[in-house]
Amino acid sequence: MGLGPLAAAGMLGCGAVESTKGGSGGAAGAAGAKASAGDSGSGGETASRGGAGAGGSVSAGGSASAGGSAGAGGSAGGFIASGGSAGTEQHECEPWPHCVTIRRPFLVGADMRSSRGAERDDWSEGLAGVDITHARTREFLAQSWLKDALEEHASIAAFARFTMLLLSVGAPPELAISSQRASLDEVRHARACFSLARRYGAREVGPSELMVADSLSAMSLAEVVELTVAEGCVGETLGALLAAEQLRLASDPEVCRILQRIAKDELRHAELAWAFLAWALRSDPRLGDAASRAFQRTTREIEGMPIVDYGVEVDVWHAHGRVTCTETREVARSGIEQIVRPCLGAILGEPPAPSAAPALA
């Protein structure tokens, strides 16, 4: 899948993790990825495709983290959020402590916030049935898609907040329009993921109330830049790459249909982040330091992504749109080195590094 004008991101949807029965080195990136820096005209072009499919059992994965900056005036948080951090809603369906999300996180302080699952039917629709005989795999598919759905739901709030922040710093109308559209994209994504969770047997196929009262405070342009680099330029660029990898591995028709839309939308969401950064730097070139700080903070924890085994069938896991944590980590590493870092360097006017793409296992 070629990634268009701006290679996209919003944190990764960590699916499963390979067991010691035999796994692959994971998948790294998407073919034909092309990055440019907003409407400033600078950018880079890179392509990567790596990794074979994993073998053996793997862990369940939904996504449980997000990197990025604080929504309520705090500083940028880490790329991977612990499941037990203060202020973060926990889900009963979440047996894994860390993973990564492919959507824009809703961060308040350094914590990713989302609602809990609730038994309701207005956020999902019936999908074609599926026959999965391995009970544990089916259970974790339901749980992981529910986790994604709750984070997609929270992303609606994240983009609503971003729209208000754009207005607060005097951004041009086309950016506000794109942010509003992104919120509507996230409504569709949430409903699709709740529908998949329902399809695989989850009873909680809707969201409970989402706490938003303390999620917005005054932020300077520099703080909005840091938030956008973390959540968008890094997060959603990697998210689009991972969504493309999920789609490449998937074979279930319903899952492929949904992932095609999500991958396309996440790319546009990342392009919005890069376009905002380009506009902000034209407004004040000194904001490059804030962008660099956010990039360093957000990418620092990728090496710490955990590898956990929950014993699902990896071929079925892949077929239904999930990837292993090993594969997720390789996509993230490759995306940072081959797309995000060069693209950020181009928009900041930095010379390219001698070797921006290290060999991946």
Label the pairing between strands 117-118 and 206-207: antiparallel
Model pLDDT, residue 176: 98
Q: Which is nearest to 99 in space by CA: 59, 154, 146, 61?
A: 61
Q: pLDDT tier at 285 (50, 70, 90 boundaries)? A: very high
Quick one: tokens of 119? 């038994």
- Mean pLDDT confidence for 117-140: 92
Q: Encode pLDDT of 100-127 as tens digits.
A: 555 577 766 667 788 899 999 999 998 8
Bridge partner residues of 35 (DSSP): 44
Q: Which is nearest to 313 in space by CA: 25, 23, 52, 59?
A: 59
Quick one: tokens of 12? 């990764």
Bridge partner residues of 34 (DSSP): 45
Quick one: tokens of 158? 């994240």
Residue 209 Cα distances to 154, 162, 179, 236, 343, angstroms: 10, 20, 23, 25, 38
Q: Encode pLDDT of 68-110 as tens digits.
A: 333 333 333 333 333 333 233 333 333 333 445 555 777 666 6
Cβ atoms within 10 A of the Cβ of 212, count?
A: 15
Local structure of residue 208 (DSSP, 8 states): -
Model pLDDT, residue 101: 54
Residue 333 Cα distances to 98, 234, 304, 328, angstroms: 17, 11, 12, 9
CATH 1.10.620 at 34-348, yes or no: yes
Q: CA–CA separation, 71 vs 224, rounded Å? A: 9
Q: pLDDT tier at 231 (50, 70, 90 boundaries)? A: confident
How many angstroms from the chain centroid is the CA of residue 104? 6
Bridge partner residues of 43 (DSSP): 36
